[in-house]
Chain A
Amino acid sequence: MKFTPRFLALVLLTSLAAVVARANHHEEKHTYVIVHGATAGAYEWKETGRYLEEAGHTVYRVTLTALGERSHLSAVGVDLSTHIMDVVNTIRFEDLHDVILTGHSYGGRVITGVMNEIPERIKHVMYFDASVPEDGESSYSRNGPPANLLIKNGRRIPEWLNENPTTYPHNVGQPFGPYLEAVKYNNPEAFKLNVTYVPFIAEGTDPAERAARDRNWQNAVARGWTVRTFPGSHTAMLENPKDLSVLMQAAVTDTNTPTP
């Protein structure tokens, strides 16, 4: 191979293009605030967050009080407002703006409260296989008491939970207070936020059938939110974090459709 000026110029141009692409990346950099689900912790979003960071974005994975690395804190007295404040205060104390706010599972209730509290800080919202509550609704008022309800020290202990874990990370009993507290979703500014609803569709299940019976999905459609399905179980972020991070970047520009 001859190192002619033309060849070198080509290589140089390619290098410059890469530099420019990197610079553009920085201009479109987003700030993600990611909220996990019941019994879990921010660790469930570590890999997805890493892919987002590698793409140049800033990622905050908030662990809710009495869960994950905050599970040494008592669950007694912890309610939905506590978890909403965990997220609101992260946004305020870190001075975050134009936040891409995401919630998984129970985290949908938390981010609904955050939207209602500080809509002016939020650019886009994503519900991942998450609860989409109505104003004034609690998990308990919608679903009634959970099956085989066992409460210890303010925590609901699911049947599958290992109560004496020796490895990390691990699930812990979910504070029961948040099941009972109604969420506020009555701020007109919160209603205007663009939202993407992302149901995780397990292999062999029919999205149409799910859409027909899933109240969360129906609420999303009724509100004009964009629906993007993603393949996987209820914890698809553990199965396919890279592709989920790609969806999280693509969905940022989704806009709601007008609702009647």
Chain B
Amino acid sequence: MKLFRLLTLLLVACGATTLARANHHEEKLTFVLVHGATAGGYEWKETGKYLRDEGHTVYRVTLTALGERSHLSAEGVNLTTHINDVVNTILFEDLHDVVLTGHSYGGMVITGVMDRIPERIKHVFYFDAAVPEDGQSIYDSFGGGRGGNRPEPQVENGRLVMDWLPKNPTSWPHNVGHPIGTFTEPVSYKNPAALALNVTYVPFVRDAADETERAANNAAWQRAKARGWTIRPYPGSHTAMLETPKELAAHILANVNNTNAPAAD
């Protein structure tokens, strides 16, 4: 009986979907996503949506004086302010087993968060991000200024105003000048429990040549490797999450259970 067989097949398929959905819920994760310099939580909206669609909980923290918090003064805002933005989100929302991610400058912030509350963190992702040593500021880590033939960035009202920023933006979202105090304050990264966290370092790479060159010469990459972190390159520009958010969400989910290799000494 053809109809019977067809109906049985469909029924099994429906059942399998339901089971898959139920399993999903059991493995539900809590993500805390931290954006980079001059940006805001909005840059991770699409990636966050795909993670939510898979049943996970997503917090996109916007750092003080940036994005939808850019009406706040940047004067006096430093790296500690931004670390507190994330630490307090985790404490006030009572989050545990957090998958913590940082993009670009956000690597400085999440390093400080790891040092403060490692017991709340399950896994960490650095997306094309700064990987500082204990006691380094991002300027120590990367070198200040821009060099080359580009004009030196200007500081206005406590913000580093890059030449490419929109002058008087009339549309949203938009990048804004970055609080300079966050670039000069060193980060603390010496808590043994923080050093023991499993971390995945995800450089965004343009092509094979870019990957080879940076694996050989990029300080963040080499620190990640020396610490035994899992390295999982992802194709795209420095803002790859805006180009392929769905695939990045899949990349994140595929790597949350990575474990560190023994660190090289």
Contact = CB atoms under 8 A, between A and B. Distances in A.
Interface of A: 3, 5, 8-9, 11-12, 15, 41-43, 46, 63, 65, 68-74, 77, 82, 85-86, 89-90, 92-95, 168-169
Contact of B92 (A3, A15, A68, A95): A68
A92 B173 contact: yes
Contact of A89 (B70, B85, B88): B70
A71 B69 CA distance: 14
B265 interface: no
B8 A93 contact: no
Nearest to B72: A65
Nearest to A169: B92
B7 A5 contact: yes
Contacts of A168: 91-92, 94
Interface residues of B, number: 33
A69 B63 CA distance: 12
B247 interface: no
A5 B68 contact: no
B68 A92 contact: yes
Contacts, number: 86
Given A74-B76, A94-B42, 17 more contacts: A43-B93, A43-B94, A65-B69, A68-B88, A69-B89, A73-B72, A73-B81, A85-B71, A86-B68, A92-B172, A92-B173, A93-B41, A93-B68, A94-B173, A95-B42, A168-B91, A169-B93
Contact of B172 (A9, A72, A95): A95
Contact of A90 (B68, B84, B93, B94): B68
Contacts of B41: 93-94
SS class, residues of chain A in contact with chain B: helix
Contacts of A63: 92
B91 A94 contact: no
Given A89-B69, A168-B94, A73 B64 contact: yes
Interface in B53-94: 62, 64, 67-73, 76, 81, 84-85, 88-89, 91-94
Contact of B11 (A12, A68, A77, A92): A12
Contacts of B8: 3, 8
A82 B172 CA distance: 18
A70 B68 contact: no
Interface centre among A63, A93, A95 (most CB of B within 10 A): A93
Contacts of B73: 77
Given A69-B85, A70-B88, A72-B81, A89 B68 contact: yes
A62 to B, nearest CB: 9
A8 B4 CA distance: 8
Contacts of A65: 69, 72
Contacts of A69: 85, 88-89, 91-93
